[in-house]
Amino acid sequence: MAEGAFVKKIEDLQDESAQLLTGRATVPALEEILYHPFPLLDHGFVRVVDYMGDDNAIVQAARVSYGRGTKKSTQDKALIAYLMRHRHTTPFEMCEIKFHVKMPIFVARQWLRHRTASVNEYSARYSILSKEFYVPSLEHLAPQSSINNQGREGALSSAEAARVLDILRSDAQSAYAHYEEMMNAREDGSVIDENRTGIARELARMNLSLNFYTEFYWKIDLHNLLHFISLRADSHAQYEIRVYAEEMARIVEKWTPFAHEAFTNYRMNATTLSGGAWQVVQRMLRGEKVSQEDSGLGAREWRELMEQIEK
C-alpha cells in the first residue's frame, strides 16, 4: 500500500524529535537517516523510526559499568570483537532499533518466521489495501533449482519471462478488481454502487494474492537483528527478502560500526565447520587426497565444504 497511512505520523514524529533535547546516547550517522525511506523492490522500503543504544552501550553492558569510563575506542572495538568471536550475546541485546518496513505479503510471511521481535502490521480488516503488488524484474525470474527445493537457478527465455510477467500483472489486477467489487468500495473508500451491500473487508481480503504489499513496525534488539541479517542476507536467501536484509546491514554499519565490523568478520565472512568437515580439512592440509566417498561426509555437506574451500 502507499505510504499514506503512515506518512503524517512519521512527519509528526520527525518534527517533534527535531525540537527535543535528549541526554541519551545518539548516533549522528543514524540521526541523519532517521525516518528516511530506502526504496526496495518496486513499491517497498525500509526506514528507521527509533533506536536505543550504540557501540558504547555494548561495552558498558559487558563491563557492567556506567558512563563512558576511561577506555579508549580501540579497546572498545577489541572488546566488541571478543564478544562477537566468543558468542557473548547479551551485551548486543542492550541496543534496540525500530523499523518501518513495507514488502510483499509473501516476503512478510518469511520475515515473521523470526519471532524475536515486536511487530505491529497494517490491518486489512480495518483498512483497504492499496493496489500495489510486486512484479519481479526480468533478471529475477528463473526456473526451479534442481538441487535446492527452496530456490531458483538458471534463466527463462525472453518469451517465457514475458508470459510470466503478463500472468502476474493480469492476475493481480483481476484479484484487486474483485476485491473492490466484493467490498463494494474503491481503494479510497468510496462506494461503488449505492444499491448494493458489500462483504466485510476481513472476508474480501482473502481473494488477494501474496504479491500484494503489506507493512509493519518491527522492533528488535541488535543481537537478534544480526541473526536475521546472517540468514536473510546470505547468498542462498531468497532475493526478495535479501535486499531488505542487505539494506538493514548498511543501517547497522551506521548505527554500531564496531559491532558491524565484528559481525562481518566473525559471522558473515566466517566459516563454521562440523567436526567431520574439520577432519577432512586437516587431512587435506597434510597432503592427503580426499574424496566424498572416503570423507565420511554426506553428499550435501561435502558439496558445501567444497564451496567454502573454493571461495
Q: Is 195 helix (H, G, I), strand (E, B) or coil?
A: coil
With a CB cutoff of 8 Å and minimum separation 6, the contacts of 143 are 152, 153, 154, 155, 156
210-269 tens-digit pLDDT: 999 999 999 999 999 999 999 999 988 999 999 999 999 999 999 999 999 999 999 999
Cα–Cα dist 133/211, whole Å: 5
Give pLDDT, residue 98: 98
Model confidence at 13, pLDDT cuts 50, 70, 90, reads low
Give pLDDT, residue 28: 94
Q: Which of 232, 250, 300, 303 is catalytic?
A: 232
Does residue 12 have a pLDDT over 70?
no
Does residue 8 have a pLDDT over 80?
no
Region of poorest pLDDT, from 27-41, 145-159, 273-287: 145-159
87-120 tens-digit pLDDT: 999 999 999 999 999 999 999 999 999 999 999 9
Give pLDDT, residue 7: 54
Strand runs labelled E in 144-257: 213-221
Model confidence at 78, pLDDT cuts 50, 70, 90, reads very high
Give pLDDT, residue 21: 72
User: 3 versus 243: which is more confidently predicted?
Assistant: 243
Give pLDDT, residue 20: 64
What architecture is domain 4-133+212-268? 2-Layer Sandwich (3.30)
Task: For residue 232, indicate whether it is catalytic.
Answer: yes
Position 127: which residue type? Answer: S
Question: What does DSSP assign to residue 153?
Answer: -
Model's pTM, two decimal places?
0.88
Does residue 5 have a pLDDT over 80?
no
Q: Which of 242, 241, 264 is nearest to 252 (CA)?
A: 264
Q: Which H helix or E strand runs over 78?
A: helix 73-85
131-179 tens-digit pLDDT: 999 999 988 888 777 777 677 777 888 888 899 999 999 999 999 999 9
- 246's grid cell: 542487505
281 near 60, Cβ under 8 Å? no
63-75 tens-digit pLDDT: 885 455 556 778 8
